[in-house]
Every structure is written in structure tokens, then in C-alpha cells.
Amino acid sequence: MDFELVRLAVPTLAKGLWLTAVLTVTSIVIGFNLGLALAVMRLSKNTALSSFAKSYSTVFRGTPLLVQLFLFYYGLGQLSFVRDNPMLWWIVGDGAHCAVMALALNTAAYTSEILRGGLMSIPGGLVEAAQACGMSRFLRFRRITFPLAIRQALPAYGNELVLVVKGTSLASTITVLEITGHAKRLMSQTYAILEIFAIAGVLYLLINLVLITLVRLLEAHLTRYLPR
């Protein structure tokens, strides 16, 4: 291992780490809320709503994230009504904004499937009991359905979070300099392929480790009523 090189590469890649973290957190926050809305829509009795949610998840899960990203970044930028609308242009015109949008829309599709499983696993009796207590629809969702569904869905959602972290690397293909973007640049400048891969890889593993630990802690917190 060339230590001079490591001293050069670590600070550069650490700069990318910050952007990777920002991309991850922003897309997870947007994607989770969107996914929750889609999961509720999917389970609604209104056929228009549920079939919209179903086709949304089919399309976003059936096509590669890279295609979605390129379609938004290069494709939408071409359309004149997007160019003329300042709000849309703010999203599409900037690589990082566009990456967040693509990632959020993509993870929303997977999140909706995961949460749907959680929502469907709730025993009907619990909801009936809450109804009998006179809880309103919203209160019922907030106090009974959602907490139980999220507890059920958490392990699967942890996997999805790892996929989002890995997905952020695609932002490097639309000129965003996060970890992979910096790594690729350094690889072609220094030819120290393995060293740079190792450093970048460790950074990703660290982020994933932190996320998984947080999910485990949350899971332990939510199941603290269980005997150990």
C-alpha cells in the first residue's frame, strides 16, 4: 500500500462522504413519506387509487434506476415546459437535485411494497377494537395501524435503506461528485485502483453499518415489550 496515495485519497473521498450522506437522507425522507402514501392508496377500496399505486410500483421497480435517472436528468431537461417552469427546472437542472428526485421516487415504490405488507399483517380485531373505542380514522391510523405496521416492516425496510445508499452512487454518472464520483476520478488519475476501491468501499460499508445499527436499535425499542 502506498501511504502517500492514501493520504491524498482519504480527504477527497471523505468530501464525497458528506454528499453521499445528504443524498441518502434526503431521498429516504421524501421516499418514505411518498411510499407510505402509496401503500395507503394501494390498500384503499377506490380502484383508481389502488391501480395507480400498483402501476407506479410496477414501473419503478421494473426499470433500472440508471434509466430513470437519465430520463429525468437528460430527458426532462429537453422538454420546453420543464425548462420554462422555474420550480421543475430547479429540480431537473441540477445533478444532485435530480438524483434525489430519482432516488426518492424509486425507493418510494419499494417502500410502498414493504409497508403494504406491514399494513396487511395487522389483525382486523385490533382495528375493530379501536373503532369500538370511538377512535377517528386518523387517530386509529396514528395510534394503532401505523406503529404496528412499521414494527412488522422494519427488517425489510433496513435492506431497502442499504439499497438507497448504494443507489446514490449512480449520481456520479450525472456529474455529482459523491464518494463514487471522486473514486472514479481518482482511479483514472492515479491508477491506484485497488487502494481507492478499498477506501471508498470502507466508507460505504461504514454508512451501511450505521444505518443498520440504527434500524436494529429502533427495532429493539419497538419490541421492548417482548421477553428476551
Partner 1 sequence: MELGLWQVWDGGWISAILRGAAITVALGVTSMAFGIVIGVACGLMKWARLFPLTLVVDVYTSIVRGVPELLIIYLLFFSSVEFVAQVAAAFGYEGLAGHGYAFTIAVVAIAAISGAYSTEVVRGALAAIPAEHIEAARALGIPGRRIFRRIIAPQMLRIAVPGMNNVWQTTIKDTALVSVVGLQELMRAAFVGAGSTRHPFIFYLIAAVVYLAITLVSQGGFDWIERLLRPRTRK
Binding site residues, partner 1, CB under 8 A? 58-59, 61-68, 70-71, 74-80, 162, 165-170, 172-173, 180, 183-184, 187-188, 191, 193-194, 197, 200-201, 204-205, 208
Q: What is the DSSP string of 46-78?
A: -HHHHHHHHHHHHHHHHS-HHHHHHIIIIIGGG
8 A C-beta contact, residue 222 and residue 151: yes
Q: Which is nearer to partner 1, 63 or 131 (CB)?
A: 63
Of 93, 119, 98, nearest to 40 by C-alpha is 119
Q: Could you tell me the smallest distance in angstroms from the CB atom of residue 187 to partner 1?
A: 5
Nearest 5 degrees, angle CA 61-CA 54-CA 37?
95
Measured from the CB atom, is 12 or 122 closer to partner 1?
A: 12
* Min dist. Cβ of residue 37 to partner 1 (A): 23
| Residue 60 zone, left/alpha/beta (φ > 0; ψ -120 to 50; rest) | alpha
Q: Among residues 148 and 203, whose Cβ is nearest to partner 1?
A: 203
Rounded CA gap, 191 and 201, in Å?
A: 17
- Cβ closer to partner 1: 139 or 193? 193
Question: CB–CB of 49/223 below 8 Å?
Answer: no
Give dist(CA 125, CA 116) in Å, integer.
18
Q: Cβ 130 to partner 1, closest distance in Å? A: 34
Q: Which is nearer to partner 1, 6 or 162 (CB)?
A: 162
Supply the minimum distance, in Å, between the C-beta of residue 6 and partner 1.
17
CB of 173 to partner 1, least distance (A): 6
Taking the complex as a whole, how short is the minimal distance between the CB of residue 64 and partner 1, in angstroms? 4
Query: For residue 3, with 0-12 CB atoms within 10 Å meaning exposed, 13-18 middle and 19 or more buried, which class applies?
Result: exposed
Report the residue number, 129 or 206, with the smaller CB distance to partner 1: 206
